[in-house]
Structures are given as C-alpha cells and as structure tokens.
C-alpha cells in the first residue's frame, strides 16, 4: 500500500491521475470513488510527513556537510551551508507535496482500513 502512495496512486485500487494540478488533489479516486479526505483535518498527517522530509533535506544539504567541513577547517565560511539549507527548506516541501498526500493516505489506510460503514462510491 505504501508503494502505491510513493507512486502517487490510489492506496485502495492503484489508479493514477489523482491530481488535477501539482497542489490540487482530486476529492475522490476516479476509478474506485475512494474519498481521500476521510475526515476534517485528515491531511494534517501529510503536512507532518512533508515537514519531516523538508527537515531531512536541510540536514542532508546543510548540517551534515557543515559538520564535515568544519571538522577539516574550523575557519570555513558557513554561508554556502546556510544557503543550501534554506534552498532545501523551501524546495523540498514544494517538490514532495503530492507524494506526502498519497503516502499519508496509504499510511492511514494501513492503520485504519476501510470500514463497512465507509464504502467508496463504486463498491
């Protein structure tokens, strides 16, 4: 199921084309009718995933190289590392946004499978 999320596919049926634009996800799966936002505030988990990815990018692009560089040369300029971290902090959430929503949907379905009272439109 998480694999479907990583491929930006519906976690229920595996259908693609879930986004009308980069930042706009369809309300329901075009194939199975699964409603992606199961409850109010549902995508808060996607934002947490996106934040974690962005922080990971900052660590990879700025903190780790900075530590390695300062170990070799304690007088090295930190400006390139700050710029790299800022770029990662801005670009990573934008790039990863659609995946964060589909991965969160898959993760939520693993933790809370569809209930009998919560059918999709076409089942």
Residue 20, pLDDT > 70, answer yes
Mean pLDDT of the chain, nearest integer = 90
Q: How confident is the model at residue 34 (pLDDT cuts 50, 70, 90)?
A: very high
Structurally, the chain folds into a number of domains equal to 1
pTM: 0.82
Taking only the tens place, the pLDDT of each residue in 105-123 is 999 999 999 876 565 555 5
Could you give the percent of the chain with pLDDT greater than 90?
A: 71
The residue among 55, 61, 47 whose CA lies nearest residue 98 is 47
Give residue 118's pLDDT.
60
Cβ pair 62, 85 in contact under 8 A: yes
To which H or E segment does residue 21 belong? Answer: strand 19-21
What's the mean pLDDT in 63-92? 91
CB atoms within 10 A of CB 112: 10
Higher model confidence: residue 53 or residue 120? 53
pLDDT > 60? residue 18: yes
Q: What is the pLDDT of residue 117?
A: 57
Query: 119 lies in a domain?
Result: no
Query: Hey, what are 114's tokens?
Result: 């569809």
Q: Domain of residue 98: give its range.
A: 2-111
Residue 117 lies in a domain: no
């Amino acid at each position: 199921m998480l694999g479907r999320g990583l491929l930006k596919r519906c976690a229920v049926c595996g259908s693609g084309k879930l986004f009308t634009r980069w930042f706009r996800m369809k309300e329901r799966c075009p194939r199975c009718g699964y409603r992606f936002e199961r409850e109010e505030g549902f995508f808060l988990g996607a934002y947490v995933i996106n934040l974690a990815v962005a922080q990971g990018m900052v660590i990879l692009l700025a903190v780790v190289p900075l530590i390695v560089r300062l170990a070799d040369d304690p007088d090295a300029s930190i400006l390139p590392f700050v710029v790299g971290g800022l770029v990662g902090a801005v670009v990573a959430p934008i790039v990863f946004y659609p995946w964060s929503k589909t991965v969160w949907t898959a993760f939520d379905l693993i933790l809370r499978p569809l209930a009998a009272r919560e059918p999709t439109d076409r089942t």
